[in-house]
Amino acid sequence: MPAEFMSAIAFLMGALVAMIASCQAVTKGARLQQEILKRGLSAQGKVLRIWKPPLFGAFTRVYFEFELDDTGLVRGCHIDRRPAGELAPSLPAVGAQVAVRYLPDSPTQAVIAKLVSRLSH
């Protein structure tokens, strides 16, 4: 088999492996968000910043903070895994108060409740 074909096959196999790994990471992240929503405790938070990556297919990040009595101020980053067409109407504004759910044993693992997809993946 010519070297050009071997290079093309190696490239395609690498791309396939990367795509599978990416899909698994997205699925794992979505399940973790659903678990935090289900098991987490509630708090009120404030949106600090919204970052929309310039890359196609990258997820929007919503940075927020909330306060806990025992640990003080906690900052988090919610990765919005919804399709881009669903984002604009429902993203909270910077400075908006939001309902946050967090894991009591790891408060930095937190989500903005209304942004978590309730569909199982």
pLDDT value at residue 116: 82
Return the amino acid letter for 45.
G
Contact yes or no for 110/74 (Cβ under 8 A): yes
pLDDT value at residue 99: 94
Length of the chain in terms of residues written: 121
**pTM for the whole structure:** 0.74
Query: What domains are there in the chain, each with its CATH number?
Result: 3-115 (2.40.50)
- Local confidence band at 121 (pLDDT 50, 70, 90 cut-offs): very low
Tell me the pLDDT tens digit for each residue of 30-51: 788 889 989 999 999 999 999 9
Region for residue 57 given its phi and psi (left: phi exceeds 0; alpha: psi -120 to 50; beta: otherwise): left
> For the residues 67-93, what does the mean pLDDT come to?
80
Tell me the pLDDT tens digit for each residue of 5-29: 778 788 878 877 777 766 676 677 7
